[in-house]
Chains A and B, each alone.
Chain A
Amino acid sequence: MKDIFVSSSPHIHSVEDIPWIMRQVIYALIPGALVGMYFFGLPAAKVIAISVVSCMVIEAITQKFMGRAVTVSDGSAALTGLLLAMNLPAGSPWWLVVLGSLIAVVLGKQVYGGLGNNPFNPALVARVFLLISFPVQMTTWLQPRPFLLKVADTVSGATPLGALKTAMFEHGSIDIVGKLNLMDPFFGNIGGSLGEISAFALIIGGVYLIARRIISWHIPVFFIGTVALMTGIFWVINPNLYANPVFHMLSGGLMLGAIFMATDMVTSPITNKGKIIFAIGCGVITVVIRLWGGYPEGVSFAILIMNAFVSLINKMTRPEKFGVGK
């Protein structure tokens, strides 16, 4: 007889392993990435390609250098690359993308011990690093220019949230919001990061992830819901000073952040109760930054700040074990 194997039970395993999960998230990002490429053209495709390839190469080199098993084939580096690209302006120069990849993979992930051990979302660590270090490049937005139709743009060279903040600072009013057709941020015809412009495309991806049971609905729903509720309250109080909740839901990085960044398994709480607390925290911080902070957008900061609370939230929200109730 050939050798037989001995190990602890169970002896069978679900087919849903880490590479499978990573593939599903990548599939879910495709609609958003396609919209980015549709409106921003070739530069967007270039940013995605550079980001994915450089994340994978850097991960392989780092793992080799650190004496770890090279796990590029699990798709997690590719996913980090894709997420990073989605969070960058479509016209980012190549060196910015490569630098971002380096930060994401090395500082965001590998120094902590690789996939599973990083406290902060790697792509967001990179994005925020770049935003603070290279504010000009990180806020130079390409004008959305549909691939086939050459339609005049409603917003030129700025994101709706950026324009809102500028208007607030310059004239103390937000009449700009009224001029925006909300169908534009829904389908993606606005300025912004490569992958954040179309709420519709991102929601399709989110529905796929929830249907595939990769993520649960708790974080997206409570994150977006908190933003809607809070901005709604202020809008009701003073619609001349505060933009309406639909505007806030559809613009900026909220959809991308709430569906794809805040739901990163490694850096979000493990129980559903914990996820709700985490998501509400993300929502509150986002609104505070958007309404009163120096930056027009606060989703990335909000998620990173809440990432820091994850182990505390996990501790607070342990499930009640079987056999203590009733």
Chain B
Amino acid sequence: MKTFKGGIHPPENKILVKDNAIVELPLSKVFFVPTQQHLGAPAKPVVNTGDTVKRGQVLTEPMGFVSAAVHAPTSGTVKEITKRVHPVTGLLAPYIIIEADGKDEWAPGLPLERDPFSMTAKELLNIIRLSGIVGMGGATFPTHVKLSPPKDKPIHTFIINGAECEPYLAADYRLMLEQPERIIDGARVVMKVLGLDSAIMAIEANKPDAIRLMQEKTPPEIKVEPMKVKYPQGAEKHLIDALTGRQVPSGGLPMDVGALVHNAGTVAAIWDACALGIPLIERITSVTGQGINQPKNIKVRIGTPLKEVFEFCGGLNDAAKIIFGGPMMGIAQYCEDVPVMKGTSGILVLTEQETNLNSYQSCIACGRCIEACPMRLVPSMLSRLGERSMWKEALDFNLLDCMECGSCTYVCPANRPIVHFVKYLKTLQREAKAKGKEA
């Protein structure tokens, strides 16, 4: 079975939630919509306090090409435009707060059923851009940007990422099982945009029923490829390496080797946008972990407060950590006053026993991090340099190649927070670079 070099085998723990069918979360009374739910330039609000908004109505205007709009998750009034804690950065960030009127009325003209295959690639791309679609695996890079490669970098390999290699999470798995058509049709739209006549759907072998179903449902031009169960099998560069044998050059992008990877959820959202005119205002996510009483896979509107998600899932039980995303790369939350976002691929509540709150020791040079690193770096060295804030030296140790997958940190017997040090060093480097520009 296809795979890459390095990586780890953490306990999957998907059993908690993987057999629970997707259920829809009841509509919240209030929604907290961060204006920045994507990587790239900010988007500025185009509504004002007191405005009435309808479901699917655009709330922000992207400032630049690498940016994405957000849309109203339901109908109601804009209660406030203010700053609150952002779930990803942990900093104060602008939010549009919407008080729902309970009617959940669509914006005029929505939903708009149409045949995407009668449209041109350019029209489809424009729809995707206006629908605020971003990478829903968690990276939240604006999808239309990935779909607009420069002329000299044509895409010939399109991969639909259904690996879902993060432990615990099963949202993509449920989506593949319950709504395979959305993914397949969305993939066909992407193929049309790129002018491709084939695609590969990569699924980790621990989801045999999803593989079987997809093999049944996909047209011959979409090939279903079972992948070895190994973290981080779903990492973009490693998926490409495993499937095509081509390595994305250091510092480069998948398009440098003619490849493009989209998460299964993203592809489904593309279908909704192109075939129904529905922008990205809801997503499927796994609410799981030993710290939640009733783990569920939920369909939830963007902006729904976390508290309501927890209530719907039977409340918390001995929660020690609340994480947006998976246990390997997810982001720990400070409080329950944060909303579900476009990139929230999972909501994980871990108990003290499940997570890792121990302190760390000196590196014993066991080399496990080097074996585990899918980027083939020397994580032990990065962590030592991190302790001493030596970001310049860390650049020589390929600091910027680290994708923070956490494999090294997972295996480190000295429990060293290597990813933490890497993030810290990258921050120092960014700050120094910004200062250099000013001077």
Contacts and interface: CB of A to CB of B under 8 A. Distances in A.
Given A2-B319, A319-B378, 13 more contacts: A4-B334, A5-B357, A7-B357, A9-B325, A12-B350, A18-B413, A21-B364, A115-B361, A270-B370, A271-B370, A321-B401, A322-B375, A326-B247
A13 interface: yes
Contacts of B364: 18, 21, 115-116, 265-266
B316 A319 contact: no
A11 B348 CA distance: 10
A93 interface: no
Contacts of A21: 364, 366, 413
Nearest to B332: A6
B406 A16 contact: no
A63 B250 CA distance: 44
A135 interface: no
Contacts of B241: 322
**How extensive is the interface on chain A, given as a class?**
35 or more
Contacts of A7: 321, 332, 357, 417, 420
Interface in B7-45: 8, 10-11
Interface in B410-437: 410-415, 417, 419-420, 423
A142 to B, nearest CB: 34
A15 B330 CA distance: 20
B414 to A, nearest CB: 6
A73 interface: no
B350 A11 contact: yes
B245 A323 contact: no
Contacts of B361: 18, 71, 74, 115-116
B237 interface: yes
Contacts of B413: 14, 16-18, 20-21
Interface string A291-326: 000000000000000000000000000111111111
A71 B415 CA distance: 14
A325 B247 contact: yes
A186 B173 CA distance: 56
B247 A322 contact: yes
B323 interface: yes
B331 interface: yes
Which 4 pairs of residues, A with B, have the shortest CB-CB distance? A116-B362, A10-B406, A8-B420, A13-B356
Nearest to B323: A11
A16 B10 CA distance: 12
A74 to B, nearest CB: 8
Interface in B216-268: 237, 241, 245-252
A238 interface: no
24 contacts: A5-B320, A5-B355, A7-B357, A8-B417, A9-B323, A9-B328, A11-B327, A11-B355, A11-B356, A12-B327, A14-B411, A17-B414, A20-B413, A21-B366, A115-B364, A116-B362, A216-B367, A265-B365, A265-B367, A267-B365, A270-B366, A270-B370, A322-B375, A323-B251
A266 B370 CA distance: 14
A5 B415 contact: no
Contacts of A323: 237, 247-252, 375, 401
A114 interface: yes
B320 A4 contact: yes
A16 B368 CA distance: 11
Contacts of A266: 364-365
Given A318-B378, A321-B375, A323-B249, A12 B417 contact: no
Given A6-B333, A323-B250, A12 B354 contact: yes
A230 B320 CA distance: 58
Contacts of B319: 1-2, 4
Nearest to B289: A11
B322 interface: yes
Contacts, number: 165
Contacts of A117: 362
Contacts of A2: 318-319
Interface in B285-340: 316, 318-323, 325, 327-336
Interface string A245-276: 00000000000000000000111101110000
B380 interface: yes
B-side interface size class: 35 or more
A272 B249 CA distance: 24
Interface in B341-369: 348, 350, 354-358, 361-367
A113 interface: yes
A320 B376 contact: yes
Contacts of B420: 7-8
Nearest to A326: B247
Nearest to B167: A12
A182 to B, nearest CB: 35
A242 to B, nearest CB: 36
Contacts of A113: 362
B424 to A, nearest CB: 9
Contacts of B370: 270-271, 319
Contacts of B320: 4-5
B205 interface: no
A240 B40 CA distance: 77
Interface string A15-36: 0111011000000000000000
B192 to A, nearest CB: 30
A16 B321 CA distance: 22
B374 A322 contact: yes
A268 to B, nearest CB: 8
A10 B409 contact: yes
A137 B328 CA distance: 54
Contacts of B181: none
B385 interface: no
B398 interface: yes
B404 interface: yes
A115 B415 CA distance: 14
Given A114-B362, A270-B367, A13 B415 contact: yes
Interface string A38-70: 000000000000000000000000000000000
B377 interface: yes
A138 B370 CA distance: 39
A92 to B, nearest CB: 28
